[in-house]
Structure 1
């Protein structure tokens, strides 16, 4: 996306990421020079536009030891959405937010296989953690070939659809 923006659209995209040095290293290892983009580096950011104000907050989460991962909390028009990113856990902050109504929607990295050191969150664990009456707020995403879409729907979760 950075290359496309820079070379095709003649734009220098702005990237929201809480650790500028880390994103510079990651993109640099792919050949992306720092003058191709701008990093807005903050754990909390407010994006203002004529049409809306959106608050964006990054929350560290677990995935694999060698790759840092962040979830993102979006607040817009009185609604709050938490996007887990690649994660094999759900923090108490998110669980309590769903329970108390301070988080309206949870997009959770979900997979169909359960094994030790899984970098993604197993659907069976999700069903144990989220009460049935709150599952309509949860959207399963990341979905691997072993993920059973029908089972997730029967459990009361939503499943994101790939847009083609």
Structure 2
């Protein structure tokens, strides 16, 4: 991933050199303040290494964020391999690096994002792709809704927030 090379509306824009799978895969995402700060720190660190290595620093890929201390580009396999090490060292279950896309989609969906927004984040060319891959969200939401209905029909008497609505006054349609 190359370093931000220019600003737009006061925010850095990251330029991806390699071609994406589809035109829709090429997308603009917000740059969060904490990520921006991290990128700036990485840039400062890289500048220190350039000074330290002097003429030995490899400037071939210097516009990239993830390079070794000597400036050489980090192989993508290295990141994938070390991702597993980070998971293990932090007591997290083993997942593939690609599974982070699913985690992103899950977090977005469970926090109220529309399927169209998730499609945009993931860069899917059609909403159908997103819906097909993440159809289990709809099933989960359906089960959650069913649980809410069940809870409303069998309220916890100790919890006033879970009590069902009072029956309407007067005769109901079911009384004769």
TM-score (norm: length of structure 2): 0.25
Higher share in helix: 2
Bigger Rg over Cα: 2
Higher share in strand: 1
TM-score (norm: length of structure 1): 0.26
Relative contact order, higher structure (CA 8 A, sep 6+):
2
